[in-house]
Homo-oligomer: A and B are copies of this chain.
Amino acid sequence: MFEKILANVRENTPLVHNITNYVTVNDVANMVLACGGSPIMADDPKEVADITNICNALVINIGTLNERTIESMILAGQAANKVGIPVILDPVGAGASSLRTNTVYRLLNEVQFSVIRGNLSEIKTVHAGSGNTKGVDAAAEDVINEGNLDEMVQFAKMVSEQTRAVIAITGAIDIVANKDEAYVIRNGHPMMSKITGTGCMLTSVVAAYCGANPQEILKSTAAAVSAMGYCGELAHQKVEELNGGTSSFRTYLIDWMSKLDFTLLQGGMNIENR
C-alpha cells in the first residue's frame, strides 16, 4: 500500500493549493516539488476558490494569518469541500494568541478537514475547541514519549472522532490516527527542530500524498510523516559526514525528498500499527 501511495504521487503530480505563511513558503514549495507534487500559492479572497477548483488538495496553514487571508482560508476551504478534494489544516501556534485560537475554531466550524497536523500543544487547542471536550486531562503533558504513548494514541483517536479528520501529532514520536486506527512512527531526528519549517513542509507533503491518494487519507498521511522523518535522518547523516550545520541540513532534507522512492524509504521507515 505505501509503495502504491508513493508511486501515485510521482505519477500524478498532484497540484497543491497552499494558503500558508510567508516564513516557510519557499521551503514548502520546494518540498512539494521534491516529493512529486506541484505547488500553487494564492491567498486573495477574489481568487482562492478559482485556484482551489483546479487543484488536487488544499493546505490551510495559519502561520502568519491576517484578516484578509483568514477570509481566504474560509472561502478556499469551502470550495475544496464542495469539489471534494482533501483539505489539510496546520494550526501553527494555536493557543499562542486569541486570534490564532479563534481562527482555528472558526475553521473547524466552517470547513471539514481531511487531516489536521500539529504538535501536541496545537492539537490540544484543536481538541479544546472541537465541542465535546471529554478527556482533556488525558493530554496533560506536552511531549509524546514511550511512557504516555498509549494515552496519546487514545487522545489522537478521540480528537479524530471529534473533528472527523485524520490527526497527525508530530514530535519525537509521531502519531497518525483516525477514530479507529493509529500509526506510531519513529522516524526523524532532533535537528529537524533546529530549522524553521519542517512542520509546514510536512503538512504540504501530506497534502500532496493525500491529493494523489484521496481514498487513502490515513495511510497517505502516515507515509508522508515517515518519509519526512526518514529524510531527516538521512540529512542528518550527511551533515555529520560533511561537517555542516543547520542550513546544510535544510538543503539535504529537501535533497533527500527529491530522491526518495519506495525502495529507499523501505530501508528506513519505522511504522507501527496500533
Q: Which residues of A contact B (CB under 8 A)?
A: 21-27, 29-30, 33-34, 39-44, 46-47, 50-51, 54, 63-68, 93, 96-100, 194-197, 244-248, 250-259
Residues on B with beta carbons closer than 8 Å to the beta carbon of A27? 26
Minimum CB–CB distance from A20 to chain B (whole Å) comes to 9
A246 partner, pick from B33, B43, B97, B244, beta carbons under 8 A: B33
Residues on B with beta carbons closer than 8 Å to the beta carbon of A256? 245
Please determine whether B47 and A97 come into contact, CB atoms closer than 8 angstroms. Answer: yes
Question: In the complex, which of the residues A22, A24, A33 has the most CB atoms of chain B within 10 Å of its own CB atom?
Answer: A22
Please determine whether A23 and B29 come into contact, CB atoms closer than 8 angstroms. Answer: yes
The CA-CA distance from A221 to B26 in the complex, in Å, is: 26
What are 17 A-B pairs at a CB distance below 8 A? Answer: A23-B29, A30-B196, A30-B247, A30-B250, A33-B196, A41-B63, A43-B64, A44-B99, A47-B99, A50-B98, A66-B68, A244-B255, A246-B254, A246-B255, A247-B250, A248-B251, A251-B251
The CA-CA distance from A23 to B33 in the complex, in Å, is: 13
Residues on B with beta carbons closer than 8 Å to the beta carbon of A42? 64, 93, 97
> A100: nearest residue on chain B (CB-CB)?
B47
Given A30-B247, A43-B66, A51-B96: 5 more A-B contacts, CB < 8 Å: A24-B26, A26-B27, A50-B97, A245-B256, A246-B258
> A46: nearest residue on chain B (CB-CB)?
B99
Query: Taking A247-B254, A258-B246 as contacts, is the C-beta distance between A66 and B93 under 8 angstroms?
Result: no
> A65: nearest residue on chain B (CB-CB)?
B44
> A255: nearest residue on chain B (CB-CB)?
B245
Please determine whether B47 and A196 come into contact, CB atoms closer than 8 angstroms. Answer: no
Please determine whether A26 and B197 come into contact, CB atoms closer than 8 angstroms. Answer: yes
Minimum CB–CB distance from A5 to chain B (whole Å) comes to 21
The CA-CA distance from A43 to B255 in the complex, in Å, is: 31
